[in-house]
A and B are shown apart, each in its own frame.
Chain A
């Protein structure tokens, strides 16, 4: 296909705006300012020096956070986006700088996180010559970006970035990458006043809502005896928490969440019946296969939520609200598809549903909860054993913060514990890597989350394995002075893999006994205060000390080595076959 640039024919030459001669680098940063960006996470390098040179003059307007690795940069941008609801921005150089973004892009893609990543690239005349630090980042990132574009001329920059921000934040959000060759950064051109993008003819981020589907959905819901709501991050991304709460309150339907939807409805809400999925709560999983109408809102029926698909909610009629039409009928056949932005569709639906209560149906959930408390939760949160549990750390944390902290969790057993037990009073209070399951996500994401929500306490909860994947970001914490509390739940194992080896591989513990450094000493090397706890008597005071500490603090908690996360829907089993032990 031929080469065509972004430039479209000018709409009306009569109203041509005044132009100013600037470099591509300055145009890049002006675009960021015009898009309302205040913080960028990045790492300089040869092919992006012109932008860094221009950045020197954009301080403090564009606060640049120097990370220790580009993966840390993009995870920080993700944390920023998730805690603030704004577009996260990451900056990297060409070649290895750009390839180091790939894990973060894949993570943001599957978790629908709005990001604009800007990478430097070799001079346009060197493209395809295997020049120093040249890599084909456009093709490498195509499967893991919502859109990407290579800029080779300075004049393309304003429009490319305007499109990038529009695409990243609209519709189902996602990561976007703009690769800018060094010559384009250095060229001077006559820049017109920056215009934000509001329309791309081949891109329709949200459809016109079809009223007949709303009516069909409402009729189905009103006729239901045992309706059940599953909600996901779509509610959060659509900034529709209030609309969602009104729908739940009026319809009186029990509602359960995916791990990225957590907090859209407060943990304490009487109709919040808990977490879905492999390590979710007992009732929501079992009763998925007993409800008569399943109302899925902004969630995508991930295999970790559905378990075995051919035994998933087969008895139920399904209403699916989603902004992304590829999600409708993808995994679960829908009876009524409600395609649209839930900020728009939920109020329409709420207006048509009858105000109801379902006391007997809700009681079923509560019976299962009681059973789960007896079998799992009580011992996890208030253990009678000598050794500390992950759950009691969360319980103590809840008691101190009251659910006001932003929790940032990594991936593994501690993540499931954090998702299951952390109190959440408001939306955007739990940042975690859901779809991709990226170990090493939490430490850099917590840094970004704090920049995105500077007035809220941010507590990273990380395993002893994951923290060692991006531990260099302690350097970013040291240099920026960002106030992040870090709890390492150390079970001296790669715990989730060990659990699977115990349950499904005859306890053959193959390469899961990971050794760790003395984390408190490592933190001290970065001038970060820390403490290690292995005694229940010290846990509460250590947590209080951590939260009261001015600035960052690392708390390492030694927990039981071989605890398993239950309940569990074993792989290949239906949600109704969830095991309590």
Chain B
């Protein structure tokens, strides 16, 4: 099976130590996490992990199941890049005098969709969001003009097919789950593969 980038999305309780519990599922198998974002979800008290790794689907499915098995994890999804809308954000610090003097730089920033966040006498901070290539392009462009500092965020991704997590959470909070409970999704998918 082909190795490619997968986006793993996990909804979890906000609990001390859970980040480690999830991280060691990867490190135990010597799998590198390419990108990791953890932040509060749209639901109070529930956090959302976005994890990017390069692996085969077979491995990713096993990892997703292992993550979901953790007591404080509510739900895990995994998607290829084609199945998600994703963005990374980048900040660039460049000397203000160069920006002010060189029109070329201004055009570069416009072409790359950058936005000024802070303008000071000594430096200016620009921001872009986009895919890796897009934020990389601006680095290359700014490098000759004295790029002082650069930082990129982890990837965040919206799942194209997702209907959100609110309804799912209500199922989790019920003591007696319905027949269509969320946890059976791994088995639901299998129906296409295995038929009697």
- CB within 8 Å of B: which residues of A? 1-4, 138-139, 142-143, 146-148, 150, 167, 198-204, 207-208, 210, 213, 216, 219-220, 324-326, 329-330, 334-337, 339
Contacts and interface: CB of A to CB of B under 8 A. Distances in A.
Interface string B7-29: 00000111111111100100010
Contact of A138 (B17, B19, B47, B177): B17
B100 interface: no
A6 B156 CA distance: 28
A332 to B, nearest CB: 13
A4 B184 contact: no
Given A167-B71, A213-B187, A326-B69, 7 more contacts: A1-B38, A2-B14, A139-B20, A142-B17, A147-B72, A208-B184, A325-B183
A528 B16 CA distance: 48
Given A202-B71, A203-B71, A335-B194, A1 B14 contact: yes
Contacts of A330: 62
29 contacts: A1-B14, A1-B18, A4-B13, A4-B16, A142-B21, A142-B24, A146-B71, A147-B72, A148-B17, A150-B16, A150-B17, A199-B175, A201-B74, A201-B172, A202-B74, A204-B172, A204-B177, A204-B183, A207-B181, A207-B184, A208-B181, A210-B184, A325-B69, A325-B183, A325-B186, A326-B69, A334-B194, A336-B194, A337-B187
Contacts of A3: 16
Q: Which 6 residue pairs are nearest across A and B when measured between Cβ atoms?
A: A326-B65, A202-B74, A147-B71, A203-B71, A201-B172, A216-B196
Given A142-B21, A202-B74, A208-B181, A4 B65 contact: no
Contacts of A143: 24, 28
A330 B62 CA distance: 7
Contacts of B4: none
Given A204-B183, A216-B196, A1 B47 contact: yes
B111 interface: no
Contacts of B65: 325-326
Contact of A1 (B16, B71, B172, B183): B16
A143 B25 CA distance: 8
B51 interface: no
B73 A202 contact: yes
B173 interface: yes
A204 B178 CA distance: 13
B66 interface: yes
B179 interface: yes
A339 B47 CA distance: 28
Contacts of B179: 208
Contacts of B178: 208
A156 B24 CA distance: 27
A377 to B, nearest CB: 39
Contacts of A220: 196
Contact of B17 (A139, A326, A336): A139
B190 interface: yes
A4 B17 contact: no
A104 B24 CA distance: 20
Contacts of A216: 196
Contacts of B14: 1-2, 4
Chain A CB within 10 Å, residue with most, of B66, B172, B175:
B172
A201 to B, nearest CB: 5
Contacts of B73: 202
B69 A324 contact: yes
Nearest to A216: B196
Given A143-B28, A219-B196, A202 B12 contact: yes
A326 B73 CA distance: 14
Interface string B78-91: 00000000000000
A167 B71 CA distance: 8
A203 to B, nearest CB: 5
A82 B69 CA distance: 23
Nearest to B66: A326
Contacts of A4: 13-16, 45
Nearest to A8: B45
A4 B45 CA distance: 9
A208 B175 contact: no
Contacts of B61: 329
A326 B67 CA distance: 10
Chain A CB within 10 Å, residue with most, of B14, B15, B175:
B15
Contacts of B169: 201
B149 to A, nearest CB: 27
Nearest to B69: A326
Contacts of B17: 138-139, 142, 148, 150
A475 B73 CA distance: 43
Contacts of B13: 4, 202
A73 B6 CA distance: 44
A203 B175 CA distance: 11
A1 B184 contact: no
Nearest to A211: B179
A4 B12 CA distance: 13
Contacts of A219: 196
Contacts of A208: 177-179, 181, 184
Contacts of B18: 1
Interface in B46-64: 47, 61-62
A148 B12 CA distance: 16
A326 B19 CA distance: 20
A277 B45 CA distance: 47
Contacts of A147: 71-72
B88 to A, nearest CB: 21
Nearest to A219: B196
Contacts of A146: 71
A145 to B, nearest CB: 9
A326 B62 CA distance: 7
A12 to B, nearest CB: 16
A1 B19 contact: yes
Given A1-B14, A219-B196, A326-B66, A202 B181 contact: no
A202 B172 contact: yes
A528 B130 CA distance: 74
Contacts of B20: 139, 142
Contacts of B177: 204, 208
B181 A204 contact: yes
A101 B173 CA distance: 34
A329 B186 CA distance: 11
A213 B195 CA distance: 10
B189 to A, nearest CB: 11
B46 to A, nearest CB: 9
Contact of B187 (A1, A167, A335, A339): A339
B183 A200 contact: no
Contacts of A326: 62, 65-66, 69
Interface string B119-163: 000000000000000000000000000000000000000000000
B23 to A, nearest CB: 9
Given A1-B14, A1-B18, A139-B20, A207 B183 contact: yes
